[in-house]
């Protein structure tokens, strides 16, 4: 069920918030499902009480928002008053409780949405793979007999939506953490322009790159949740035809490491957009090369994460997922001069990028170049490091550029999941949603069998 379908059903009295919540809780509790690995905490009693309250308010014509009563999950990185914020770790499981809700959580509650639970994640959000040795790893809905990674770091967020355990999820995105799991789980994930959604009450990874975004079934679903998170008034997306859209497909960044299933899915999506009248310019985007140049001596995430974790690593380093700890520790040796040079170079690269892509409505590229690998493939540390770098490569670009981006599923039914990413400069979020809706209708219109 999309959020719009749920909204209309609630308004017409064809369903209730309590019924939606009970369906989600049943799926979470299914012993054959991924619920125990997807959620680190479930708010069953509170969700039922909130749902009943929203149903009463709706009957009285006093619903606090158009999506009041809809169940959503939140990533274990966001503060809920009276609870610790473990962030997928055991180190913070017994931390002092949060004094107040995170700003994003408070906005969801004010709009009448129902919190169904806290979702699992990569420890401290520092990986694109989605593995968590402390709480288990929820599996991608694709090929569960094999058992494939969900993508990270918002792993549980994506699985909660894919399996109908929530109608939408809140994740965070520092280098692709909403979009990677969306691509690996066959749902839609959005990274907003970071300044639009307050980070208050969200445990940091890299303050220069962090953002909070939604995962849901469609672009319109993500747009609805994004409006709530950003404190904006929701309205249906304007209709944009595909014909005449100007899209740039970078040839110098994004097409490396493509596996065969993802290449087929992306080629088919681009071909459909071509046939529908989109003007796709396959070209080199020079400003994207500059990002690799300034990252040669290190990026923002490692030194900024180390600044937060330094004392905890010293005191409790053995309790970390060592794959996460090993990524943070090099922040201790990054020269301050290199970090300052990175900060100084970033605005110029962003300005050059925005000038270079000004003629286009959006850029497009694969969200990640590969289908979700089997979980068993990550027993070797060198495999983890190599594949983590591959899945972060494309989505991390837009975080550095301080832009917005969305991942749309573009694979055929039954095929390995693949995401088509659309990205745009900062503050074009609303326009990007309308473009994404048009693209989505074109690339997912499969013949009925």
The predicted-structure confidence for 289-329, as pLDDT tens digits, reads as follows 999 888 877 899 999 999 999 999 999 999 999 999 999 99
Residue 290, domain member (yes or no): no
CA distance 8 to 17: 12
- Asked, for residue 295, whether it belongs to a domain, the answer is no
In a domain, 339, yes or no: no
Token pair, residue 254, equals 């994004």
Dihedral angle over CA of 20, 24, 25, 31, nearest 10: 150
The pairing of strands 246-250 and 279-283 is: parallel
CATH number for the domain that contains residue 41: 3.90.1300.10
pTM (2 d.p.): 0.98
In a domain, 258, yes or no: yes
On whether residue 3 sits in a domain, the answer given is: yes
- The residue range of the domain holding 101 is 1-285+357-449
pLDDT (tens digit per residue) in 211-269: 999 999 999 999 999 999 999 999 999 999 999 999 999 999 999 999 999 999 999 99
Rounded to whole angstroms, the Cα distance separating 168 from 70 reads 8
The answer as to whether 422 is a domain residue is yes
In a domain, 95, yes or no: yes
If one counts the domains in the chain, the total is 1
Contacts of 19 (CB under 8 A, 6+ apart): none
Output helix, strand, coil percentages for the chain, rounded to the nearest 5: 45, 15, 40
What pLDDT score does 296 carry?
Answer: 77
- Mean pLDDT score of the chain: 96
In-domain check, residue 343: no
Cα-based distances in Å from 66 to 13, 193, 223, 236: 14, 24, 13, 11
DSSP 43: -
Q: What is the DSSP letter of 57?
A: H
CA distance 402 to 211: 10
Residue 448, pLDDT score: 46
State whether the Cα torsion 362-5-44-63 is positive or negative.
positive
What residues are labeled active site?
A: 75, 153, 177
Tokens of 237: 């997306």
User: Do 158 and 187 contact (CB within 8 A), yes or no?
Assistant: yes
């Amino acid at each position: 069920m999309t959020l719009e379908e749920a909204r209309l059903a609630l308004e017409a009295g064809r369903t209730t918030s309590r019924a939606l919540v009970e369906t989600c809780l049943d799926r979470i509790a299914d012993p054959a499902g991924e619920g125990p690995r997807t959620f680190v905490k479930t708010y069953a009693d509170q969700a039922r009480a909130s749902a009943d309250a929203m149903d009463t308010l709706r009957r009285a014509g006093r619903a606090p928002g158009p999506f009041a009563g809809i169940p959503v999950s939140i990533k274990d990185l966001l503060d809920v008053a009276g609870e610790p914020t473990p962030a997928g770790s055991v180190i913070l499981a017994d931390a002092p409780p949060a004094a107040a809700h995170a700003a994003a959580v408070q906005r969801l509650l004010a709009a009448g949405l129902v919190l169904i639970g806290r979702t699992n994640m990569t420890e401290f959000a520092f990986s694109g793979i989605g593995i968590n040795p402390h709480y288990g790893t929820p599996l991608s809905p694709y090929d569960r007999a094999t058992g494939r990674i969900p993508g990270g770091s918002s792993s549980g967020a994506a699985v909660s939506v894919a399996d109908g355990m929530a109608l939408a999820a809140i994740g965070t995105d520092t280098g692709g953490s909403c979009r990677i799991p969306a691509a690996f789980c066959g749902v839609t994930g959005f990274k907003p322009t970071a300044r639009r959604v307050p980070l208050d009450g969200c445990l940091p990874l890299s303050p220069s790159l962090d953002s909070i975004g939604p995962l849901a079934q469609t672009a319109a679903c993500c747009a609805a949740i994004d409006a709530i998170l950003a404190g904006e008034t929701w309205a249906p997306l304007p209709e944009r035809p595909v014909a005449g859209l100007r899209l740039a497909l970078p040839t110098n960044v994004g097409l490396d490491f493509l596996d065969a299933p993802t290449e087929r899915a992306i080629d088919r999506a681009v071909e459909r957009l071509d046939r529908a009248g989109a003007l796709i310019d396959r070209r080199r985007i020079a400003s994207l090369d500059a990002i690799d140049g300034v990252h040669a001596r290190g990026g923002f995430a490692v030194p900024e994460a180390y600044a937060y974790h330094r004392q905890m690593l010293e005191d409790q380093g053995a309790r970390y997922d060592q794959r996460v700890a090993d990524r943070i520790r090099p922040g201790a040796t990054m020269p301050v001069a290199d970090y300052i040079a990175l900060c100084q170079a970033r605005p110029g690269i962003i300005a050059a990028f925005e000038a270079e892509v000004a003629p286009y409505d959006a850029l497009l590229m694969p969200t990640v170049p590969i289908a979700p690998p089997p979980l068993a493939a990550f027993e070797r540390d060198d495999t983890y490091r190599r594949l983590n770098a591959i899945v972060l490569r494309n989505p991390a670009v837009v975080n550095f550029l301080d832009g917005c981006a969305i991942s749309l599923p573009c694979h055929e039914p039954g095929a390995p999941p693949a995401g088509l990413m659309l990205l745009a400069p900062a503050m074009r979020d609303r326009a990007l949603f309308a473009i994404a809706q048009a693209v989505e209708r074109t690339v997912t219109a499969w013949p009925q069998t």
